[in-house]
Amino acid sequence: MLCAEVTGKKFFAALCSFGCIQAAQMLLPFIALPYLARVLGLEVFGVLLYMLTLSTLLCMTIEWGFLHWGTRESAVHRGNPAYCGRIVRAVTCGKILLSLASLPVIVLLFFFLPHSTQYPTLFFSAIAYGIVWAFNPTWCFQGLGQGMRLAALAEICGGACALVLTFLLVQSPEDAALYPFLLFLSKATSYAWLTRRLYQTLPMPHAVQPSFAAGWQALRAAWFLFASRAASAAYSQGVTLVLGWLLAAQHMALLILAEKVARAVVSISHPVTQALFPEVCALHAHNASHALRLLRLSLALTAGSMLLGAMLLAVCAPWVVKILLGVESPQATAVLRAYCPLIPLLGCDFVFGIQTLIPLGQEKALTRIHLATAMLAIPLAALVAWRFSLAGAQYIACATEVLIFLLYLYRIWQVQPALLCWHRHGQRNRP
């Protein structure tokens, strides 16, 4: 049973809001994929998905770890609006600094990344989308435990408008760059409105004046979470960028599409885990036993639902491929089934990493785990793709996530073994 601190209207309102946000961020763009695959053709569609991977990587870089650091700080200091206001201002300035610092890297990527010079408009549309995506202010509403309905409304309206405009305007392979540009416009409008509401809600003196000193302090404070996120991006999105050098665009389309399907299934559990994250952070400071009960419940529900989702996807893979691509493809079906084990692994790793280790202050451990994984995954991906092409590359994501799963288990056994023991008096904490 959920403890009293997280029951009631606020929690369930946050849960519903996260469900709407997840639908807007994952499901609405996912609806556009079958249409884009048919209109653009598999080769251009593969290039589009590859460039959207660059958007995700850029977003994760500029976001820097503020998503979890800022949420945790806001959740712990909910009773101090002035402090939360300073956090928002510092995070915004930090992201501006990172956006400026990323410009030289973007120029280098344009000249060296596969397909970028061939599709320059698509490249820069994806870059613009990735930058504005990183300025999502929902993390502060999440930490404060209020305003999530506004965030959900903005995400749904923006995503729906982008989807409708995609159907109306993207009619041929020459229109491929319009899709990330429409995503850019929808995110920019939604996040500008949310940020304005946030600045009106929290006391932020001189908030309109950028403070690079405050931004720099925020970057330093969230450094280990950023290092963890950067390493995570290296073994997930970074591996995809490396594979783009070695595999044909059609094969990249199958890999990226299969991963998007798997992550769409995983996203079903995200509203619950995201709604619980700030509450677990707050409870760890005041009632560790209740936090442990929440983590156990979250782990059980996530593992069970994701296992069921993986089995259903494996059975329905031929029909899913036909819906997405418009034709039957045994090769695409095999790739999609190879990604099915990724679903329960990602679900459990989210509970272990985000909900367990971050509230316990284990940012350094997360960084070491992700760095070790990246150092192994990137050269392994290059070697496997070079030697076995698509037949080997389809298993890289699952192999990487298995390694992370085992490393998470080892670290949790060191700092919070009661989560794994499942007996009433087994809780013990080690430094």
Decide if 128 is inside a domain. Answer: yes
pLDDT at 227: 67
Decide if 427 is inside a domain. Answer: no
Decide if 226 is inside a domain. Answer: yes
Distance between CA atoms of 63 and 132, rounded to whole angstroms? 10
Decide if 166 is inside a domain. Answer: yes
pLDDT at 121: 93
Decide if 428 is inside a domain. Answer: no
pLDDT at 177: 92
pLDDT at 4: 41
pLDDT at 430: 42
- Chain mean position to CA 400: 17
Share of the chain above pLDDT 90, in %: 20
Number of domains in the chain: 1
For residue 11 the two structure tokens come to 């929690």
Residues of the chain with pLDDT under 70: 1-26, 145, 147, 203-212, 215, 222-230, 234, 271-275, 277-279, 281-287, 422-431
Domain boundaries, position 403 = 4-421
Residues 105-159: tens digit of each pLDDT: 899 989 888 888 889 999 999 999 999 998 888 877 777 767 677 877 888 888 8
Decide if 429 is inside a domain. Answer: no
pLDDT at 422: 55
pLDDT at 85: 77
- Helix (H), strand (E), coil (C) string for 334-394: HHHHHCCCHHHHHHHHHHHHHHHHCCCCCHHHHHHHHHHHHHHHHHHHHHHHHHHCHHHHC
pLDDT at 182: 94
Decide if 197 is inside a domain. Answer: yes
**What's the predicted TM-score (pTM) here?**
0.70
pLDDT at 70: 75
User: Residue 56: which of 278, 316, 241, 268 has the closest Cα?
Assistant: 241
pLDDT at 425: 43
Decide if 431 is inside a domain. Answer: no
Residues 254-290: tens digit of each pLDDT: 898 898 889 888 877 776 666 676 667 666 666 677 7
pLDDT at 10: 56
For residue 121 the two structure tokens come to 């408009």
Give the DSSP H/E element, type plus range, for residue 40: helix 28-40
Cβ burial 28-58 (10 Å sphere, 16+ → b, else e): bbbebbeebbebbbbebbbbbbbbbbbbbbb
